Structure formats: C-alpha cells, structure tokens
Amino acid sequence: MRDLPGDRPREEIFPTPAVRWIAYAVSAAFFLIACYLWYLQVVLGDEYREMARGNRVRLVRRPAPRGLIYDRSGGIVADNRASFDVEVVPEDVEDMELVEARLGEILRLDPKDVRARIRAGRSYSYLPVTVAGDVGAEEMLSILEREPGLAGVRVGVYPRRWYLHGPVLAHLLGHLGAIGPDELERMKGRGAERRDLVGKSGVEGRYEEYLAGKAGAEEIQVDNRGYIDRVLSREEPVPGASIYLTVEMNTQRAAEDALSDGSGAVAAIDPRTGEVLAMASSPTYDPNDFIPPVEADVVRALLADPERPLVNRAIQGAYAPGSTFKPYVALAALGSGAITGDTPVDCPGFFMLGKRPYKCWYAKGHGRVTLADAIMFSCNVFFYTIGYRTGRDEIVRVASEFALADPTGIDLPGERGGILPTEEWRRERGMPRWNPGDTVVISIGQGYLAVTPLRAAAAIAAIANGGKLYRPFVVKQVVSALGETIACGRPDLVREIPIRPNDLALVREGLKRVVNSRYGTGQKGRIEGLEVAGKTGTVQVALPDGGKKNHAWFVGYAPADDPEIALAVMMEGRESGGFFAAPAAKRVFAAHFGITLKEEPPRATPTPTPAAAG
C-alpha cells in the first residue's frame, strides 16, 4: 500500500544542531562581507577611486625658464640652454637591478652609485629622481634607444642657466644655488620645489622674484608600465622677466682685463645718472661652476681660496683711500676759510708737529706750492698743513657730505660701508682721545678711514658733476614675458652737496693737472684726444706677518669739462697708484670712448715709494 502525500514524514532543513550553527555562521560571514563591500564602495568609494586614478594619472611639473639678462646694448649675458637629465620613477620600475645595471653602463657609473642616487633623491615613488643631470647627446640617445626595455627611466629636458661670458661680469651677475627652507616657503606660490636653484648673489639674488618665473604642470595619464598614454590637462609655465643692465660690455671687459694679473676692483658710473657702466672684481670665478651637475672640488676650492674670489671687492672691499682723499680735504680747507686757492705752503720734504716729523713722499720736497699744484704733485706736506689748520671735525663733515662711509644703496646685495672717524664712531669703539697727529694722518687719506671702490667712484662723480650725489644702479629695466615693462631703474639724486663754485673749480683744475701735466702723478693715465681728470693714491698697509705692502688707487672722470664717465680703480699689492692704477683707468676710459691705445712697453716694477705717494 502506498503512502499518501499528506502522510509523508517532514524533513528537517538543518538535520543537526551543528549544521544549523554552521549555516548561521556562513550567513553572518556573507552579511559582514556585504556590509564591508558597501562600506568600501559607498563610504570610501571616492577615496579609492582617487587612489586608483593616482596610479594612472600623474601631475608632472614643468619648470619655468629663468628670465634672460641683457647688457646695455641688448646683448645676452645670462641665457638658458636645454639640459638633458636622466630620471627614474621608482613606481614604474619593473626590475630595479636591471635599471641600475643598464644606467651604470650608459652613464659610466657603478650600479651601486646609481642605486644610492635613487635612494638619496627619492621622496614619493611616483615622483622622478634625477640620476644624472646635463648628460651629453651620446648618453641621451643611448637611453632613448633602450627606453622600451627600461620601464621607469626617462630623459627630462629642462632649461638650465648659462652665463655666456663665463667669469666676465661674474660678481655683478652673481650665481645660483640650492633653494633654502625660507626661500622655498616664500616662493611656494610660484611653484618652487626643493630641487630648484635660486639667485644667491648679484643681480640673480637681488632680482630673484622677477627672474624666477612661475612653474607650470601637466596632468598626464600613463599605462601600466609608466609610459605616457595621453595629456589630460596642461598649465604652461610662465617664463621669468628679462632684465636689462646699465653695463657696457666693452667697458666691462676693459675693467676685467685691467685687473687680470692681480687682486682689486674697478667701478665706473655715469656721473649724470648714477648708472653703473662697469663693475669688476679680481680674482673672479665662473658662475657656470654653480650650475648642476656641480663639481664639488671646484666649489670647495673657491670657498677655501684665501684670495676670496667670491667677494665682490667693488662693493664689499673697504680700503684706506690714501691720496684720493685729498680733494675732500682741500674742499674742507677752502670751505672753512683755512686757506684760499693762492695760499702757499713750503714743502721741505717733511712737516713738523711738535718734535715729530711727518714725511712727504718726495724726500727732497716740492718747495713752495699752492692748492692746484699740491693736488697735481700729491704733496703730503701741503695736506698735512691745511688738514691741521682745518681740523678733524670739518674734514669729517665734508667727507660725510660725500657719504664716503655710507653704503651707496646700489641694487645689489651684500654692500658694506666704509669708515669715517666721527665722535660717535670712536665712542662706540671705546677709542682714546683724538690728538692732532691723528688729524695730520687722515689729511693724506690714512688712519681711521676706509672706502669701497664703488663709493669712491660715486664721490668723485659728485665732484665731476658739480656736487650731485647719485645712488648707483645696475638694472635699467625689467620686462615681463609679455613684453610689459614692470620696473625701471631711474636716476636717484641722494643730495646736492653745498660747494662754492670757485672752490670746486680749484679742485677740478688740480685734478686735470694730475693727469695732463708732465709733473702730475697720474700722467700714465693720459689719453691723446681726451682730457682726463683724476687723482692717484698709494696706501701702505700692514700684513699679518709683520710685513707691509701698498695698495694703488686712481679715481677720475672724463672728459674733464663735460664728464660722461667717472671711475675708481683699486689694485691690491701694487707699489704706486700713478704707475699701476692710472694706466688701468686709462684702458677703461679708452674702451668707453672707443679709443684705440698705442701698444705700450711691458710695465716694470717701480722703486717702492713711501705710503700715500701719489
């Protein structure tokens, strides 16, 4: 008999409690998985989508070309050139050992060095690390040929600074260096990164905000091997602004050549405006040495050199002015009424103050002289005498009118001032009471006096132009990448010095005779067809080892009656201003006016002269 359907026994879904609990556990697990998937997709979906996008979309920085720098006539003096850098993106490398070996072979490096460079430069795995900068065409082509087998390796093309004239203009242009933390923070708005170079000195440092430009970027999509698939968006870099200098390259080269065999400085300015026509400092250096890849030995040698080639002596070297100070003593004596232009002084070769003799540089003496001839001869006894009569306070007051101790305010970083022995200056240093002998010594430009070559040039320019003291400047114009003028250098009259016209005429007559008379101490600065006015100076300085040496000076201007250029030449360790500095000034004047000088015989070292000889 068959059982009816309704009579069949009921089957249990979970035959045993154990199976039932296993089923519950599996259900719970699936429920948790479903919840977690919901959490990942709904709650964290945007974040993970962005991460996934980041694996295939990169933001590539495009550095801005640095602004160009031009000389006065529009010739480029600081340019940019294409640099090929070998880079590795660690995220995209499939076989790091293979990459290290291949790059080592191509770049002639030990694979361990390649590995060390990648590790040293690595920050984020998807950012490129520079393994070798500024490689040659051979290395670049080798990498491009093998690129399909070197995932993660690429050749980046970047603008790199290039100084066309090497050491010429080095101190005025300055050099670049690695960006510091403060600079990086300040320039983040321009897209600056820690790999960037910034101006550290000279025009490059002072005008960094204009020259740097603003970096751009590209958003690119890459495939699974890191190769570019397509460009999603692009922000073009904004090139830095161009700068036009006041410098004349022919005058600059003459100034550099005049210093080529020794240490010193030349500063030349237009006395009508304050524009710097030339600025040279020796020894010099090549600013290209600071552009990566930097040769560490070269930079270390520059920093350790006792001659300090990185110092711009034109604005950072302060020297006793020697006899170039005598025109200001003359103006002080005339202005105070201590002398007139016809007041005679007898020079027997020495000046007696009490029982102490102060010698003239010319032992036989100059005889009976008046002011213009005293300047021409650079007679020490004459200036001992009138300086003693005038007194320290009046001499310092007049020298202060010419701002001889003050920085000029030129648009270059690092300028220093000089020294004038004011009461305040002496009191700050706890110096002993001033005595008459100190006045005698400063009357010939020695003692507690110091001036920079640029300040000496600016001061003699004020005598040349009738008493107008201008602030020197080196940048004439700043022009944006769009051609808009965004800044201009303009004549800045600091002050008009109150000088009686007759007093100024007497001093200027003496300065003419210095160069153009057969008895003048600066006659080696004479140029046929061009009347030059000037003053020589020779300063004796003590050496650390107890010895002594001389520094040679010449300050002057031309043409004497309608000046277009004023300059100062300072040469360290030279016996005579008339024998060394005056011929150097002659070369600079001739270059400025386009005059070809006759070939001169080689210079012989003159017989050493006492300190402060003209």
DSSP 439-462: HHHHTTT-SS-BB-HHHHHHHHHH
| Cα–Cα distance for residue pair 167/149, rounded to 1 Å | 43
Per-residue confidence (pLDDT) for residue 427, from 0 to 100: 82
Better-scored residue on pLDDT, 118 or 39: 118
User: Please, are residues 604 and 575 in contact by the beta-carbon 8 Å criterion?
Assistant: no
Region class of 612: left (phi > 0), else alpha (psi between -120 and 50), else beta: left
Q: Torsion angle, CA of 589/595/597/598, rounded to 10 degrees?
A: -160
Tokens of 244: 């036009």
Q: Is a pLDDT exceeding 70 seen at residue 4?
A: no
Could you read off the pLDDT of 5-38 as tens digits, one per residue? Answer: 444 555 555 567 776 677 667 777 777 777 767 6
Residues 6+ apart with CB under 8 A from 95: none
**Widest distance between CA atoms in the chain:** 165
Could you read off the pLDDT of 260-292 as tens digits, one per residue? Answer: 889 999 999 999 999 999 999 999 999 999 988
Query: What 3-state DSSP class applies to 470?
Result: strand
Alpha-helical segments (H) within 228-308: 249-258, 296-304
Mean pLDDT for 223-243 is: 77
Where residue 121 falls among pLDDT bands split at 50, 70, 90?
Answer: low
User: Please, are residues 570 and 542 in contact by the beta-carbon 8 Å criterion?
Assistant: no
What DSSP line would sit under 494-529, residue for residue? EEE----HHHHHHHHHHHHHHHHSTT-TTGGG-BTT
Dihedral pair phi/psi, residue 127, rounded to 5° = -95, 140
Per-residue confidence (pLDDT) for residue 1, from 0 to 100: 45
| Cα–Cα distance for residue pair 188/138, rounded to 1 Å | 36
Better-scored residue on pLDDT, 185 or 418: 418
Tokens of 579: 């024998």
What totals of helices (H) and strands (E) does the chain contain, helices first? Answer: 21, 23
CA distances from 205 to 38, 209, 242, 247 (A): 57, 9, 14, 17
| Cα–Cα distance for residue pair 601/138, rounded to 1 Å | 49
CA distances from 209 to 169, 244, 486 (A): 21, 15, 12
Mean pLDDT for 555-579 is: 95
| Cα–Cα distance for residue pair 541/276, rounded to 1 Å | 29
Radius of gyration of the chain (CA): 37
Q: Is a pLDDT exceeding 70 seen at residue 469?
A: yes
Mean pLDDT for 296-307 is: 88
Q: Apex CA 348: angle with CA 436 and CA 614, to 5°? A: 75
Least confident range from 99-108, 314-323, 493-502, 586-595: namely 99-108
Q: Is a pLDDT exceeding 70 seen at residue 226?
A: no
User: Please, are residues 422 and 398 in contact by the beta-carbon 8 Å criterion?
Assistant: no
Q: What is the DSSP letter of 433?
A: P
| Cα–Cα distance for residue pair 453/451, rounded to 1 Å | 7
Per-residue confidence (pLDDT) for residue 122, from 0 to 100: 65
Mean pLDDT for 409-428 is: 91
CA distances from 429 to 393, 443, 544 (A): 18, 22, 22
Mean pLDDT for 28-57 is: 64
Least confident range from 179-193, 252-266, 513-527: namely 179-193
Per-residue confidence (pLDDT) for residue 136, from 0 to 100: 82
Alpha-helical segments (H) within 155-244: 170-173, 181-186, 202-206, 208-211
| Cα–Cα distance for residue pair 68/239, rounded to 1 Å | 9
| Cα–Cα distance for residue pair 489/432, rounded to 1 Å | 44
Least confident range from 126-140, 156-170, 231-245, 569-583: namely 126-140
pTM of the model: 0.84
Least confident range from 317-331, 417-431, 484-498, 581-595: namely 417-431
Mean pLDDT for 345-358 is: 93
What is the chain's mean pLDDT, rounded?
A: 87
Tokens of 586: 């002659």
Least confident range from 51-55, 75-79, 80-84, 519-523: namely 51-55
Per-residue confidence (pLDDT) for residue 127, from 0 to 100: 72
Q: At what angle do helices 326-336 and 453-464 cross, to 10 degrees?
A: 50
Q: What percent of the chain has pLDDT over 70?
A: 88
Per-residue confidence (pLDDT) for residue 44, from 0 to 100: 63
Q: Is a pLDDT exceeding 90 seen at residue 540?
A: no
Q: Which residues pair with 487 in a beta bridge?
A: 478
Mean pLDDT for 222-249 is: 81
User: Please, are residues 383 and 443 in contact by the beta-carbon 8 Å criterion?
Assistant: yes
Mean pLDDT for 181-189 is: 78
Q: What is the DSSP letter of 74?
A: S
Better-scored residue on pLDDT, 445 or 25: 445
Is 323 among the catalytic positions?
Answer: yes
Q: What is the DSSP letter of 566?
A: E
Mean pLDDT for 433-452 is: 92
Q: Which of 263, 323, 378, 576 is catalytic?
A: 323
Q: What percent of the chain has pLDDT over 90?
A: 58
Q: Is a pLDDT exceeding 50 seen at residue 54?
A: no
Tokens of 295: 């040769």
Edge-to-edge strand list for the sheet holding 565-571:
276-282, 264-269, 565-571, 548-558, 533-542
Where residue 513 falls among pLDDT bands split at 50, 70, 90?
Answer: very high
| Cα–Cα distance for residue pair 471/214, rounded to 1 Å | 31
Query: Which residue in this structure is represented by tokens 């960006």?
Result: 179
Mean pLDDT for 402-417 is: 96
| Cα–Cα distance for residue pair 344/378, rounded to 1 Å | 15
Q: Residue 350: in which H helix or E strand, if any?
A: strand 350-353
Better-scored residue on pLDDT, 425 or 273: 273
CA distances from 396 to 105, 336, 400, 405, 443 (A): 69, 12, 6, 10, 10
Q: Is a pLDDT exceeding 70 seen at residue 452?
A: yes
Alpha-helical segments (H) within 39-196: 45-56, 96-107, 111-121, 137-146, 170-173, 181-186
Least confident range from 182-186, 435-439, 510-514: namely 182-186
**The dihedral sign for the CA sequence 318, 414, 571, 493:** negative
| Cα–Cα distance for residue pair 308/265, rounded to 1 Å | 13
Q: Is a pLDDT exceeding 60 seen at residue 530?
A: yes
Per-residue confidence (pLDDT) for residue 505, from 0 to 100: 96
Alpha-helical segments (H) within 246-365: 249-258, 296-304, 313-316, 326-336
Per-residue confidence (pLDDT) for residue 60, from 0 to 100: 72
Q: Residue 542: in which H helix or E strand, if any?
A: strand 533-542
Q: Is a pLDDT exceeding 50 seen at residue 608?
A: no
